[in-house]
Amino acid sequence: MLPNVISEFPRVLWGNDPQSAEDGFESTLEAGRVLYFPKLNFTLTQSETRFLDPAWSDGKSKNISYRGPDVPLQGASGSDADIQALKAMVARFSEQAESLVDTLFPSYRGHLRKGFTSYRPAHVETRVTSWRKDDTRLHVDSFPSNPTGGLRLLRVFSNINPNGLPRTWRVGEPFKDYAARFAPKARTMWPGQAWTLNALGLTKSKRTPYDHLMGQLHDLGKFDLNYQKTSPQLTLDIPPGATWVVFSDQVLHAVMSGQFMLEQTFYLKPEHLKDPSSGPLRILENLTGRSLLN
């Protein structure tokens, strides 16, 4: 049986809400819950509604990516003026997401590092990809070419679908149970593997044993179709106008359907968690009996 992994709140403001009696959400988030705000809407201007069309994607990437005010918008197609307007829309979401996490997680203030912002205008259901990149399979986020060295992946999502269609997620069992199930099947790195991958430019930094093990867990779970069908899980239909926040390196998730979503990533060092023992790094170190950052 799954514990209650969805925590719902009535918040309607991205920043400080003087009418709210909510305390900090760090402990709830670190317990592996999805923080769900069904009334927290990211509002587009009338002019921006034209961007609710997959034609704005360049067709080469599933995401349109905002990487800062001085960097060109990645993955988008259109005139210079339209691209600048689309960039401004995604940048505004980035700012509101930053205001939200600053309000919800006071103990993380000054420690969160903002990553990329993405706009995903394509249908999830029509994306053709390999099993390893198939996000309709339950997984924890881990990126083989971009090692995190134990950094937590905090993500803010918002469904902006104009046609009333939900973003449908499956959410799986607690990370500790998932790790205990698959970690014994994982292979360790061979001597010199991390150095070689980095030297060849296949990773953006040196892969740690933690990154290697997380990558193995990602792949082992996705590859096991029986696990995908029979493991403890629930389905969450997230309607337009809703926002949700999650540690995506901890919460097993799969996106089954939906179109038009905004997402903001933040990074947090594990020592800045309220309870560092709750994160994947400490869970995996306790499970394996060794340090995973050396």
Taking residues 21-47, report their average pLDDT.
Answer: 92
Q: Residues 6 or more apart from 2 whose CB is under 8 A from it?
A: 171, 172, 173, 232, 233, 234
Query: What confidence tens digit (pLDDT) does each residue in 100-154 have?
Result: 999 999 999 999 999 999 999 999 987 778 999 999 999 999 988 889 999 999 9
2 — pLDDT class (breaks 50, 70, 90): confident
pLDDT at 148: 94
Q: Quick check: 56 pLDDT over 90?
A: yes
The closest alpha carbon to 51, from 141, 137, 136, 162, belongs to 162
Please state the separation of Cα 225 from the chain's center in Å: 22
pTM of the model: 0.94
Number of residues in the chain: 294
Return left, alpha or beta for 247; rule: phi > 0 is left, psi -120 to 50 is alpha, else beta: beta
189 — pLDDT class (breaks 50, 70, 90): confident
Domains of the chain listed by start with CATH number: 6-284 (2.60.120)
Taking residues 21-27, report their average pLDDT.
Answer: 77
Q: Produce one character per residue of 19-44: b if its CB has 16 or more CB atoms within 10 Å, e if not.
A: eeeeeebbebbbbbbbbbbbebbbeb
pLDDT at 190: 84
Q: Which residue has the higher pLDDT, 191 or 274?
A: 274
Q: Give me the helix-helix angle, 175-182 and 280-288, nearest 10°.
A: 40
Query: What confidence tens digit (pLDDT) does each residue in 221-262 have?
Result: 999 999 999 999 999 999 999 999 999 999 999 999 999 999
Calpha distance 168→160 (Å, rounded):
13
Least confident of 25-39, 104-118, 122-136, 173-187: 122-136
Burial (0-12, 13-18, 19+ Cβ within 10 Å), 208 = buried
Average pLDDT for the chain: 94
pLDDT at 74: 96
191 — pLDDT class (breaks 50, 70, 90): confident
202 — pLDDT class (breaks 50, 70, 90): confident
Taking residues 73-96, report their average pLDDT.
Answer: 97
